[in-house]
């Protein structure tokens, strides 16, 4: 039961962050990094850029994970360029949220980082 409650809290907090960071008119660098992290995780992508005015996400999807080696500089990984159009940023980011254990751990780390940055900004 404890695990279910924690899962619910993580998903609710990530939902709150998505709404909070995607509804403001001017998007800060911190918000952009949060959005890009969600998209990279969901699509297994690299080189993600978001054009908020044109509602486009450009990225390179990693085609073969076997070619990736964390011990080396990875210059030659097979990727497929992707250009997505979204109608609503909040809905698009919500669709990138997965509920498996690995994703929940990733979201918990994102939430923690976001709270640390927010508290530093408030104290400055």
Q: What average pLDDT score do residues 90-113 get?
A: 94
- 87 φ, ψ to 5°? -85, -40
Q: Maximum CA pair distance of the chain? A: 45
Indicate the pLDDT class of residue 48, thresholds 50, 70 and 90: very high
* Residue written as token pair 């005015």: 53
Can you state the angle between helices 29-43 and 2-22, rounded to 10 degrees?
130
Q: What average pLDDT score do residues 97-102 get?
A: 94
Q: Report the 3 state secondary structure along 16-57.
A: HHHHHHHCCCCCCHHHHHHHHHHHHHHHCEEEEEEECCCCEE
Name the helix (H) or strand (E) containing 60. Answer: strand 56-62
- As to burial, measured by CB atoms within 10 angstroms (0-12 exposed, 13-18 middle, 19+ buried), residue 18 is buried
**What is the pLDDT at residue 25?**
77
Q: Is the pLDDT of residue 5 over 80?
A: yes
């Amino acid at each position: 039961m404890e695990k279910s409650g924690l899962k619910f809290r993580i998903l609710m907090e990530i939902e709150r962050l998505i709404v909070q960071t995607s509804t403001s008119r001017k998007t800060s660098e911190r918000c952009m990094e949060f959005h890009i992290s969600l998209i990279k995780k969901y699509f297994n992508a690299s080189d993600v850029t978001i054009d908020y005015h044109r509602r486009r996400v450009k990225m390179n999807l990693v085609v073969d994970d076997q070619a990736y080696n964390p011990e080396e500089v990875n210059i030659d990984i097979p990727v497929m360029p992707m250009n997505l159009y979204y109608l609503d940023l909040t809905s698009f980011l919500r669709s990138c949220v997965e509920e498996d254990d690995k994703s929940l751990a990733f979201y918990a780390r994102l939430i923690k980082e976001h709270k640390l940055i927010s508290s530093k900004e408030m104290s400055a």
